[in-house]
Chain A
Amino acid sequence: MSAEAPALARLLLQQEIEDFLYDEAELLDTRRFEEWLDLFTEDARYWMPMRRNVPHDDREREFTREGADVNWFDEGKDTLGRRVAQLRTGIHWAEEPPSRICHMVSNVQILRAAPAGPTPAEVAVRCRFLVYRNRVETETDVLVGKREDVLRRVDGHWKIARRRIVLDQSVLLAKNLTFFI
């Protein structure tokens, strides 16, 4: 093995994961929701906590807890699938006519990859997102934050096994969350 091999493998993995995240954003922004849903493992978790204003040394209370508190989202693939089905009914008025949505993904950092080596089976990846929604005439929302995903290789393809969405807002400034982040 050459001295550069581990560095090359890391670069290739970085590129592979970034490609995956950009492809996912493309599916969402082109409203290919069923294909997007296929990117999730059957046991996937999709969690978006709420944020509280608390003293700087009380980090624990800053976020609502997964599996215990009320959250913006705290669900699995079944509920995600119902959201996709609702978007397809044609009478989900909050997305009819459909919003114009754009997902920007950046600052992609691979936090863990296991097992070590050129083809890990699972990676933890963090990124920043900016989701822009514009609908009807002038209604516009901009949601910015961080995402932490656990991606798992299933039959040679990356799947999302777990997503934690950290929105940098306390009071949600959008009237609803009819779109995926």
Chain B
Amino acid sequence: MASAEPGGLKGLVDVERGIISREIFVNEEIYRQELERVFARAWLFVGHESQISRPGDYLTSCMGEESVIVCRDRTGRIRVFLNSCRHRGMKVCRYDEGNTVEFQCPYHGWSYGTDGALVGVPFAKDAYGAQLDRSQWGLIEVARVENYKGTIWATWDASAPTFLEYVGGYKLYLDLLLDAWDGREGGTEAIGGIHKWLIPCNWKFPAENFSGDRYHGVSHRSVDMVGIGPSGRGRRDMQERNEARWLDVSFPELGHSMIAFLRKHDSPLAPAYQDAPVVADYFRHCEEERRRRRGEYWRLFGGPGTMFPNTSPLARQPRTLAVWHPRGPHQTEVWRWYFVDADAPAEVKDFLRHYYIRYSGPSGLTEQDDMENWNYAHKASRGTVARQYPYNYEMGLGRATRAFEDHGLKLPGTISDVTEANASENNQRGFYGRWRQFMEADSWTGLMAP
């Protein structure tokens, strides 16, 4: 029943009909195959450049369940290594971050340079003689690393496409997080400190929620009543969204998606951040610049999204990047980075930092309720009877277009306009369709359309 052999997932993930089995969230065997077929092949987010600015700087991160070291070597090149000694497997680094000239294993003392080379072996000459070929026993390195606008990504699979091919047309939407709000390329930085916490649910619950779930307003009604938004009401500034087209953007052939908003071509500047004049001025200035720099694309604003498999950019304030690390089928460890424009005034950064903290993560008034829902949705899906009944993903089936255009502005992706409908499951279907492809395809030839 739970086989991931070719064709075996057909009955479990049927995106054409919008029916997905609970097995893919709770089944141990499917989880084990996910680690091999998804996490050992896909491009995964591992850290931010600002955390390793000098040679010798490192942070420890994760790829799937496994610990990795993200390091800037002596020559300034960013490297990513499996955090495990080649001799007996001990973690060669148990610090979260720091600066070093080498990683010495605390078990038997093998040591490695910041380029991963095995540089130190106790009693090498006497105990090994000429037998040990050090060049073959450096730290295990990922196949590829990419620094994209400060975000660092890696894959274990040498046959994987380049990062930019993997991102594809989704680049336009990922950039909404990583470009400065005034429309300049790059120009964002991560605030110090990474939220790290455990949620008792399968990693796909948060990944699909961020991929495009506009439907869960009831989850957050309490925070909307209390009001934590930047203008003192609700949980967000809604004005600009209220006069925009609501677009659920999916790239089903890649698995990436985002909630987006397209403002009208003639819409005036929207009031926002009314609680803080300096912040309001900053964003007004940015929007004017954005209109000047981006042409018609100024109108495109992002929201939550998911880049397949487990990285979720949130491209509007609170601007964040979340990684949903798998920790067994029933647990997820979240790592969460928060972004601001690098050139923003200190007062703006501080205002946003406060807003991000009260909105997001385990202490965020908004997201606390998400964790409760994912926790008990997962728990109630584990039973022998529960597993026999699939989840429903039929919302908005057949309504998306691949040829979206608005006043001459063409947007890439398979797009569902939900301005009237309020929500669709276009993006979730795209995510799970891609997940099934990863689980079934044996090679990248079958995974990337020519």
Interface residues of A (CB under 8 A from B): 48, 50, 52-55, 58, 61, 64-65, 67-75, 79, 82-83, 85-86, 89, 91-94, 136, 139, 170-178
Contact = CB atoms under 8 A, between A and B. Distances in A.
Contacts of A139: 200, 375
Nearest to A87: B222
16 contacts: A53-B95, A55-B95, A70-B194, A82-B358, A86-B365, A93-B222, A93-B372, A139-B200, A171-B197, A172-B196, A175-B197, A175-B200, A175-B372, A175-B375, A177-B368, A178-B368
B430 interface: no
Contact of A75 (B225, B357, B373): B357
Interface stretch (B119-127, B283-291, B348-356, B436-444): B348-356
B118 interface: no
B227 interface: yes
B83 to A, nearest CB: 12
A54 B222 contact: no
A72 B192 contact: no
Given A69-B193, A172-B198, A175-B371, A52 B228 contact: no
A86 B223 CA distance: 6
A3 B195 CA distance: 53
A19 to B, nearest CB: 29
A123 to B, nearest CB: 27
Contact of B199 (A61, A85, A136, A175): A175
B193 A50 contact: yes
Contact of A92 (B362, B367, B369): B369
Given A54-B96, A72-B362, A177-B363, A94 B368 contact: yes
Nearest to A137: B379
Contacts of A52: 95-97
Interface residues of B, number: 43
A54 B369 contact: no
B236 to A, nearest CB: 15
Contacts of B227: 82
Contact of A172 (B96, B98, B362, B369): B362
B226 interface: yes
B184 interface: no
Interface string B190-233: 01111111111000000000000000001101110111100000
- Give the top 7 A-B pairs by smallest Cβ distance, nearest first: A70-B193, A172-B197, A69-B193, A69-B192, A64-B193, A92-B222, A94-B372
Contacts of B219: 93
B102 interface: no
Interface of B: 94-98, 191-200, 218-219, 221-223, 225-228, 333, 338, 350, 353-354, 356-358, 362-363, 365, 367-369, 371-373, 375-376
B195 A176 contact: no
Question: For A70, A91, A136, A177, which residue has the most chain B Cβ atoms within 10 angstroms?
Answer: A70
Contact of A70 (B192, B198, B369): B192
Contact of A89 (B199, B225, B368): B225
Given A55-B98, A82-B226, A171-B197, A64 B192 contact: yes
B97 A54 contact: yes
Given A91-B221, A93-B372, A67 B192 contact: no
A85 B222 CA distance: 9
Given A68-B192, A82-B226, A53 B94 contact: yes
Contacts of B193: 50, 64, 69-71
A85 B338 CA distance: 26
Given A89-B225, A136-B376, 11 more contacts: A55-B98, A79-B228, A86-B222, A86-B365, A89-B226, A171-B196, A172-B198, A175-B199, A176-B197, A176-B362, A177-B362
A74 B192 CA distance: 14
Nearest to B357: A74
B197 A93 contact: no
Contacts of B338: 70
Contact of B365 (A69, A82, A171): A82
A74 B96 contact: no
B369 A94 contact: yes
Given A53-B95, A79-B358, A82-B226, A70 B353 contact: yes
A54 B57 CA distance: 13
A114 B221 CA distance: 45
B357 A71 contact: yes
A42 B362 CA distance: 25
B221 A171 contact: no
B370 to A, nearest CB: 9
Contacts of A89: 221-222, 225-226
A176 B96 contact: no
B97 A70 contact: no
Nearest to A82: B226
A71 B227 CA distance: 21
Contacts of A92: 222-223, 368-369
Contacts of B372: 93-94, 175-176
Contacts of A171: 196-198, 333
B43 to A, nearest CB: 24
A8 to B, nearest CB: 42
A72 B371 contact: no
A72 B227 CA distance: 19
Question: For A55, A71, A83, A86, which residue has the most chain B Cβ atoms within 10 angstroms?
Answer: A86
Contacts of A75: 354, 357-358
B371 A176 contact: yes
A76 B218 CA distance: 27
A89 B228 CA distance: 14
